[in-house]
Amino acid sequence: MDRKKIVVLGTGGTIAGVSVQISDNLGYAAAQLGVHELLQTLPGLAQFPREVLTEQVAQIDSKDMDFSIWQRILRRCIHWLERDDIQGLVLTHGTDTLEETAYFLQSVLSPTKPVVLTCAMRPASSIGADGPQNLMDALAVAAHPGARGVVAVCAGTIHGARDVQKVHTWRLDAFSSGDVGPIGQVVQGTLYLSRNWPKSSVVLPKPDIKKIAALASWPRVEIVVSYAGASGATIDALVSPEVAHRIGAAPVRGLIVAATGNGSMHHELEAALSRAQAAGVRVVRATRCCHGQVAYATEQAIPDSQGLSAVKARVAMILELITQPKDSRLGKMTHNEAED
C-alpha cells in the first residue's frame, strides 16, 4: 500500500441520510450517518490503494450551510492539506449548496492537492443508493496523480468548482458544468479527462486566508431577482439603515441581481440598484438563466459576474469585501479559475 493517505471529511447531506423504508428516496432525514460509517460499509474499499482516514467536520442538511461551518471546513482542509503524507481530501456534502462550498474553498485555498466534494441524491438506506459509488469515484479522483484543485464528483462526472451547478431536483446525475463542460469522467476507478484541473489565477495571501478562517462577522450580501412586475421596494428596504437597525441585521454591503436573459432587468429594479450603488453598496449582475454568461459589448454601470451564477457571485463578493474592502475586483477579472 502507498504511504500517502486520503482524508474523507464528513459534513452530512443525503449521502449520510436515512429513510424508514428502503424504497423511500424522498421522505428521508439527511445527515444521520457518520462519515466513518459510510466508509465502513463501502464495497471495494479494501482494494483501494491508499490508507483512508475520516473526520466528521459537521453533520447538517446543506440547506443550512452557514459561514461558521464553512470556516470549520476551511480550517480542517488547511490542517490536512499542509501534511506531506496527505495526497488529497474528499468532502461528503449535501447536494443543495455543494456548488457554493466548492467555489468558496477553491477561491480561498486554490489547493495544489485535490479537494473532491461528493454527495448523493438518494439516502444511504435506499435500495438504489448512489452515495457508495460516488464516494468510490471521489476517492479515485483524490488518489489520481496530478489531480489538483476543488472539484465535485457526482454520477461518474468530475466538475470544476467554478462551473458546477445543481440543475435537477431528483435525478442522480443532478449536476452540470454548463457550456464549459465537465473536467472528465470516472469509470470504475479510471479517469477520462477532457479538461485540465482547476487552478485559480487569484491566489489569496496567507494572512487573508487566516482572516477568513477566523472572521467573527461576515459582510452581508443579498441576492435579488428580476421578474415581471419587479419593483425597487425590496432593494430600498434592503439598503435602508433604519430597516436593518429595526430587524437587528447588519447593513447590506453588496447586492447580486439575478437578471433576466443577458443581464437585463426591470427598469424599476435597475433604478433602485443605482440608488443602492450611490449609497455605497456594491452591485453585480448575474443571470437567472441556467446556461450562458452575461455578455455586453460595452462596460455597464452595474458590472456582470464574469460568468458566475448568482450564488457564486455572492461568494466572490463576500470574499472581495473581506480581502479588498475598498476596491472591487469582480467585473475586472476575466476568469478566476484558469487552467494549467
Return the number of the residue (64 or 236) whose C-beta is nearest ligand SIN. Answer: 64
Return the number of the residue (12 or 114) whose C-beta is nearest ligand SIN. Answer: 12
Phi and psi at 12, nearest 5°, equal: 110, -140
Return the number of the residue (169 or 217) whose C-beta is nearest ligand SIN. Answer: 169
Q: Cβ 208 to ligand SIN, closest distance in Å? A: 28
Q: Among residues 25, 54, 62, 106, which is the contact residue for ligand SIN, using CB under 6 A?
A: 62
| 198 touching ligand SIN, by CB under 6 A | no
Q: Are 289 and 261 in contact, with CB atoms under 8 Å apart?
A: yes
| 13 touching ligand SIN, by CB under 6 A | yes
CA 220/CA 213 separation, integer angstroms: 17
Stretch that binds ligand SIN, among 50-58, 89-97, 135-143, 255-263 (CB under 6 A): 89-97
| 94 touching ligand SIN, by CB under 6 A | yes
| 176 touching ligand SIN, by CB under 6 A | no
Q: Cβ 119 to ligand SIN, closest distance in Å? A: 5
Return the number of the residue (22 or 301) whose C-beta is nearest ligand SIN. Answer: 22
The catalytically annotated residue of 11, 14, 101, 323 is 14
| 152 touching ligand SIN, by CB under 6 A | no
| 19 touching ligand SIN, by CB under 6 A | no
The residue sitting closest to ligand SIN, measured at its beta carbon, is: 94
Q: Cβ 315 to ligand SIN, closest distance in Å? A: 17
Return the number of the residue (123 or 232) whose C-beta is nearest ligand SIN. Answer: 123
Using CB under 6 A as the criterion, what x/- string covers residues 177-196 for binding ligand SIN? --------------------
CA 297/CA 293 separation, integer angstroms: 13
| 14 touching ligand SIN, by CB under 6 A | yes
Q: Among residues 24, 37, 61, 208, which is the contact residue for ligand SIN, using CB under 6 A?
A: 61
Q: Cβ 12 to ligand SIN, closest distance in Å? A: 6
14 as an active site residue: the answer is: yes
| 293 touching ligand SIN, by CB under 6 A | no
State the SS3 of the chain: CEEEEEEEEEEECHHHCEECCCCCCCCEECCCCCHHHHHHCCCCHHHCCEEEEEEEEEEECHHHCCHHHHHHHHHHHHHHHCCCCEEEEEEECCCCCHHHHHHHHHHHHCCCCEEEEECCCCCCCCCCCCHHHHHHHHHHHHCCCCCCEEEEEECCEEEECCCCEECCCCCCCCEECHHHCCCEEEECCEEEECCCCEECCCCCCHHHHHHHHHCCCCCEEEEEECCCCCCCHHHHHHHCHHHHHHHCCCCEEEEEEEEECCCECCHHHHHHHHHHHHCCCEEEEEECCCCCCCCCCCCCCCCECCCCCHHHHHHHHHHHHHHCCCCCCCCCCCCCCEEC
Residues that bind ligand SIN (CB under 6 A): 12-14, 30, 61-63, 94-96, 119, 121
Q: Looking at the annotation, which residues are catalytic? A: 14
